[in-house]
Amino acid sequence: MSLLSPLFLIGGLAAAVPILLHLLKRHPDAAVMFSAVRLLRDAPVEQASRRHLRELLLLALRVAALLCCAVAFARPYFAAPAGEGGAALAVALDTSFSMSGRGRFERARAMAVDAIDRAEPGTAIAVVAFNDTAEVVSGLSTDRALARAAVAGLRPTAGGTRYRAVLSTAAELLRGRTGALVVVTDLQSRGWEASDRAVWPASLDIRVADIGPPTDNLAITAALATADRIVSTVRNFSEKDVDARLHLDVGGTADMQRGMPAGDLRVRVSAGQSAQVGFPRPQGRWAVVRVADGEGAEADNNRYVLLEGVSQPRVLVVTASGELSHEAFYVEQALTASAAGKPAAYAVVGAAASTLGGWDEAKLEAHAAIVLMSTRGLDHRGRERLAAYLRRGGGALVAAGPDVDSDVLAELIGAGRVTLVPPTVGGASAPQTLAPGDFRHPVLQGFSGQASLSLAVFRRVSEMRVAGCATLARFTGGQPALVECETGQGRALLFGADLDGRGNNFPRQATFLPLLHEAVRYLAGDRKALDVLVAHAPSGVPPVPGVAPLNPAEQGGPLVAVNIDPSESEPARMTTQRFQQSVERVDTAAPAAAVTLATEREAQQHLWQYLLVAMLVLLLVESVVSMRTA
């Protein structure tokens, strides 16, 4: 056992006090010359020997209580067990799908086992599996069989490669020790991103075990559903031309994972090149394009695509009561408008602001974008839901009319970025029109060179004081009319007037519909396809390639297609030297690291709490014994 603050042990000297008192007062009993002692003879008198034992017990209890107190203040902890704190080895095995070519992962496992076997006797060994993230599958232990079993249990996954993750995890694992990290990987270049900064203690070594270049590989790198076709891209990652055989399966609602054959195509793909093929669009909810590849990685042979979500993404319109026909008539009409013979551009869903607090994350995620018309009744939980939706990449169009509160807006996009002064109801002001400022922006791109936006007349506008957001358009009075604020991975567009015609005639202008469509399309971005990568699978959706309901509780609800990151198929590699150079070595002072380790151990074990409890128990027992003795 070690002590974090050993000086507090000086307090243990207080234990000498009861000992001294005990020694000084060897005959603590009061002595009385009494006249009727004979009447006490038959009474249950205290036996001297028994009393002596009881006094010794009391003394021991008091001394123990004081020592417990002193040791508790010294913050004890159990030092590292045998093998811990000394030499350690972390074996990190790359489980990204690029490792899944024929015989590649078996080779990687063999190299990992070899690294384990080569470790010095007594070395604590841990096994870490990594792809986009890193996971310790076997903690530090001198039991090599345990480490070997952990390696044997690993399989290639559908994830990508991220070296920073494994370095961070291993550094944490090996902190306060001497030793090394062995990274068993295929050294894919994409494992390092430009923004990655991996810091590694200089006292620890990094060794790279390279399993070699990837085998020949065919990969479906893209699949896109258009109105009448499914366009797929197949790439040949080999040095010879290949005749690729592609299959299209289509899935319905009854069987989510297994599709029915819907087409076969054969295409010749030149070495290192890509080829596009198009399947007729079948009926169904989703489809998967497959390529036959017996050599390369298996995970990139399939690509899933949704057929229903593409044509009609869902847009959530939030109003005070959820009655769109009364509170968002123009918005609903504009979003559900369609060309002759074609389905509506968006499926519009209305919701009362007060109900959002009861929604779960998946339910909100099912919507490509949100149009926020009112914040009345939006409780704290609802605000948190919306803010989280934006941070995760969602988009919201906020009609900053009289029903939108500035404080709520601050919670959604961040405090101080936009301060909203809503229009005074009934207040008269000079009519204004829109004056777009940046026609390069996707929302306004289609309006360049046209003066049609200026036909809309605004009599009441909200004053938006902008700080840290981009102003895309202004009213002719100079006040911001359209502001874009990025928040997390998502964004919000703030329109400085009502979108339901209150105080303006904008919804009745021809520019209303295209502007609204462009804004929603911009905000929805990729979300309209509900196509995500494995590493970004929404909560509740398994992080494996396939199609899954976004909300399992909702029958017939929206689907999400989960695909592998196609860049993981890229065979470009780096050298071992380049890998080593990418890691920034830092000197961590050993004593400081030891102190940190000790503090963490002490915090994990918190033995002081047990000691204080023991002290209280001892004092309680002491009180009981003392009362019987006194």
Partner 1 sequence: MAGSARERQFLDPAVLARLGTLELKARTVVEGLLTGLHRSPYKGFSVEFAEYRQYMPGDDLSTVDWKVYARTDRHYIKKFEEETNLDCHVMLDISASMGYVGRGISKLEYGQYLAASLAYLMNRQRDAAGLITFDERIVTMLSASARSGHLGALLVTLDRVRLGHATNVSKPLHQLADSLSKRGLVVMISDLLDDPESVVKGLRHFRFRGTDVVVFHVMDPDEIEFPFERVTRFEDLESHEEVLAVPALVRAHYRQGIDALMERYKRELGVAGIDYHLIRTDQPLELALTAYLTTRGRSF
> Which spans of this chain sit near partner 1 (rule: CB under 8 A)?
27-48, 51, 629-630
Which of helix, strand or coil describes residue 186?
coil
For the CB of residue 48, give the shortest distance to partner 1 in the complex, in Å: 6
For the CB of residue 627, give the shortest distance to partner 1 in the complex, in Å: 9
The residue among 34 and 121 lying less far from partner 1, judged by its C-beta, is 34
Q: Which amino acid is residue 211, in one-letter code?
A: I
The residue among 1 and 43 lying less far from partner 1, judged by its C-beta, is 43
Distance (Å) of CA 73 to CA 37, 68, 200: 50, 9, 35
For the CB of residue 19, give the shortest distance to partner 1 in the complex, in Å: 20
459 and 504 Cβ atoms separated by less than 8 Å: yes
For the CB of residue 57, give the shortest distance to partner 1 in the complex, in Å: 15
For the CB of residue 65, give the shortest distance to partner 1 in the complex, in Å: 22
Cα(191)–Cα(351) distance, integer angstroms: 43
Q: What is the DSSP string of 501-535?
A: STTB-GGGSTTHHHHHHHHHHHHHGGGGGTEEEGG
For the CB of residue 41, give the shortest distance to partner 1 in the complex, in Å: 7
For the CB of residue 38, give the shortest distance to partner 1 in the complex, in Å: 7
The residue among 40 and 572 lying less far from partner 1, judged by its C-beta, is 40
Radius of gyration of the chain (CA): 36
C-alpha of 143 from chain center: 33
Which residue from 590, 534, 538 is spatially nearest to 559, judged by alpha carbons?
A: 538
For the CB of residue 39, give the shortest distance to partner 1 in the complex, in Å: 4
Task: Using the CB atoms, write b or e for 245-255: b if 16+ within 10 Å.
Answer: ebbbbbbeeee
Cα(107)–Cα(185) distance, integer angstroms: 10
Q: Roughly what angle, to the nearest 10 degrees, separates helices 16-24 and 48-73?
A: 160
For the CB of residue 51, give the shortest distance to partner 1 in the complex, in Å: 7
Q: Which amino acid is residue 355, in one-letter code?
A: T
The residue among 467 and 630 lying less far from partner 1, judged by its C-beta, is 630
Q: How many CA atoms lie within 13 A of 18 on its CB side?
A: 16
Cα(487)–Cα(473) distance, integer angstroms: 19
Which residue from 518, 524, 521, 414 is spatially nearest to 469, judged by alpha carbons?
A: 414
For the CB of residue 22, give the shortest distance to partner 1 in the complex, in Å: 15
Give residue for tokens 């009934």: 426
The residue among 31 and 194 lying less far from partner 1, judged by its C-beta, is 31
Report the relative pairing of strands 369-372 and 314-319 from DSSP bridges. parallel
Cα(25)–Cα(55) distance, integer angstroms: 11
For the CB of residue 18, give the shortest distance to partner 1 in the complex, in Å: 17
CA 370, 376, 382, 386 dihedral sign is positive
Q: Which residues contact 38 (CB under 8 A, 6 or more apart)?
A: none
For the CB of residue 53, give the shortest distance to partner 1 in the complex, in Å: 14
- 354-358's contacts with Cβ under 8 Å and 24+ in sequence apart are 354/378, 354/379, 354/382, 355/322, 355/382, 356/318, 356/381, 356/382, 356/385, 356/386, 357/381, 357/382, 357/385
The residue among 38 and 342 lying less far from partner 1, judged by its C-beta, is 38
324 and 373 Cβ atoms separated by less than 8 Å: no
> What are 418's strand-pairing partners?
466
Q: Which amino acid is residue 215, in one-letter code?
A: T
DSSP annotation of 425: T
The residue among 37 and 82 lying less far from partner 1, judged by its C-beta, is 37
For the CB of residue 54, give the shortest distance to partner 1 in the complex, in Å: 10
205 and 183 Cβ atoms separated by less than 8 Å: no
73: how many CB neighbours lie within 10 A of its CB?
19
For the CB of residue 623, give the shortest distance to partner 1 in the complex, in Å: 15
For the CB of residue 591, give the shortest distance to partner 1 in the complex, in Å: 55
The residue among 33 and 145 lying less far from partner 1, judged by its C-beta, is 33
CA 174, 177, 182, 183 dihedral sign is positive
595: how many CB neighbours lie within 10 A of its CB?
13
Q: Roughly what angle, to the nearest 10 degrees, separates helices 380-391 and 406-413?
A: 40
Which of helix, strand or coil describes residue 496?
coil
The residue among 57 and 137 lying less far from partner 1, judged by its C-beta, is 57
Cα(418)–Cα(463) distance, integer angstroms: 10
Q: Which amino acid is residue 455, in one-letter code?
A: L
For the CB of residue 21, give the shortest distance to partner 1 in the complex, in Å: 15
C-alpha of 228 from chain center: 37
The residue among 428 and 627 lying less far from partner 1, judged by its C-beta, is 627
The residue among 42 and 228 lying less far from partner 1, judged by its C-beta, is 42
